[in-house]
């Protein structure tokens, strides 16, 4: 009898007889492969400006540049791009919550993201500025289109690129002290991380133009009133609220949620006739799943559904 322990797993008791010798050798190889994969994974996921915590199928991704109020520089955008690809491949993550880390005085509610990094942008040529914009576009589109639901938990300043990254998420929940603005025209530039497009789509063209032309700060209550955020809560309740919403979403059919997300995103820029046809096609796909059979059968049998597709 022999106990074999997988990385991060429970010890497994194995009875080693002659006939099981080969199996044991195979398991030993798996163990080594596990260690190699762990080392590679750690290497790939080594991040200077982001923290990732995964629990209960929720990934909390924290942008952490305390000295710059979490401003987005090239390194942070690249890390974001890498980690979102890693997360999208994980079946154990159904919702991503994006938030900002504390400032250098440990104030957890100072800033979500205070914009793109002005110190990096100040000497950009036109070509470098364009490249910087495209560098952000990739991870921002991942937030928008990845199969997991993305929630921005906005815990303070969401200015310029900070407002823009929040808008790239599916849902925004703001703490009551949060401040939103697109201050770019005051710096002689325009919103370049999708702000001219996503703000108009979220709050309408008139309000988007007003915010971008005046650079006005708006508080969380006003952001809620104009439809920029889905919910405003006391700052102490921000993460709990975001996690509760995440858990509720996770309790539904995760594959169906991801298909609904794709339908909403893809249809938004289509004419209504093609959009509805696209929806019918996706509806057909969801009807061929285990979850559809289980969900509807459970309803008819008056029991809770066990939805497992993702
Ligand atoms: N970039 C770089 N550093 C920043 C940024 C930023 N966006 N915001 C704050 N910081 C730094 C400050 O320089 C300061 O650093 P240090 O301590 O070394 O002096 C530190 O963070 C703390 O900031 P403050 O001392 O200014 O803190 P205050 O509490 O006095 O003020 C504010 C907080 C009001 C948030 C203030 O810091 C501020 O106005 N920040 C800039 C906000 C801004 O204008 N954001 C928009 C930037 S432009 C943008 O986002 C464009 C996106 C699209 C780019 C597209 C390119 C293609």
Query: Domain segments of the chain: what residues?
Result: 1-46, 48-250, 254-300
The CATH topology of domain 48-250 is 2-enoyl-CoA Hydratase; Chain A, domain 1 (3.90.226)
Ligand 1 atom closest to 195 (CA): 53
Residue with the larger pLDDT of the pair 240 and 5: 240
pLDDT of residue 13: 40
Residue 226 CB: number of other CB atoms within 10 A? 17
The residue annotated as part of the active site, out of 138, 184, 222, 277, is: 184
Select from 137, 127, 124, 128 the least CA-distant residue to 187: 124
pLDDT of residue 26: 56
- Model pTM score: 0.88
Residue 294 has pLDDT above 70, yes or no: yes
Helices (H), ranges, 45-125: 74-88, 118-121
Residue 6 has pLDDT above 50, yes or no: no
Express each pLDDT in 68-90 by its tens digit.
999 999 999 999 999 999 999 99
Provide the pLDDT confidence category of residue 30 given band limits of 50, 70 and 90. Answer: low
pLDDT of residue 5: 43
User: With a 6 A CB cut-off, is 137 part of the ligand 1 pocket?
Assistant: no
| 48-250 and 254-300: identical CATH topology | no
Assess whether 164 carries a catalytic annotation. yes
pLDDT of residue 88: 98
The CATH topology of domain 254-300 is Lyase 2-enoyl-coa Hydratase; Chain  A, domain 2 (1.10.12)
């Amino acid at each position: 009898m022999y106990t074999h322990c997988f990385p991060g797993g429970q010890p497994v008791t194995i009875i080693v007889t002659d006939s099981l010798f080969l199996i044991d050798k195979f398991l030993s190889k798996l163990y080594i492969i596990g260690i190699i994969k762990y080392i590679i994974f750690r290497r790939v996921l080594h991040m200077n400006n982001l923290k990732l915590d995964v629990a209960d199928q929720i990934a909390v991704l924290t942008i952490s540049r305390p000295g710059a109020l979490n401003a987005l520089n090239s390194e942070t955008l690249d890390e974001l791009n890498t980690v979102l690809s890693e997360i999208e491949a994980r079946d154990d993550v159904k919702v991503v919550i994006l938030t900002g880390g504390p400032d250098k005085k440990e104030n957890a509610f100072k800033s979500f993201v205070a914009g793109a990094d002005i110190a990096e942008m100040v000497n950009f040529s036109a070509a470098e500025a364009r490249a910087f914009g495209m560098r952000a576009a990739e991870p921002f589109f991942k937030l928008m289109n990845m199969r997991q639901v993305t929630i921005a938990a906005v815990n303070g300043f969401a200015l310029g690129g900070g407002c823009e990254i929040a808008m790239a998420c599916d849902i925004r929940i703001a703490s009551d002290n949060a401040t939103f603005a697109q201050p770019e025209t005051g710096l002689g530039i325009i919103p370049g991380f999708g702000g001219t497009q996503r703000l108009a789509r979220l709050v309408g063209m008139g309000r988007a133009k007003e915010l971008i032309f005046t650079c006005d700060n708006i508080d969380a209550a006003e952001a809620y009133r104009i439809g920029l955020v889905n919910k405003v809560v006391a700052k102490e309740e921000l993460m709990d609220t975001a996690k509760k919403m995440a858990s509720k979403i996770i309790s539904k059919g995760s594959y169906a949620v991801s298909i609904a997300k794709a339908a909403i995103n893809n249809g938004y820029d289509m004419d209504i006739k093609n959009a509805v046809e696209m929806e019918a096609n996706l509806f057909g796909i969801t009807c061929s799943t285990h979850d559809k059979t289980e969900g509807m059968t459970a309803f008819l049998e008056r029991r809770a559904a066990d939805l497992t597709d993702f």
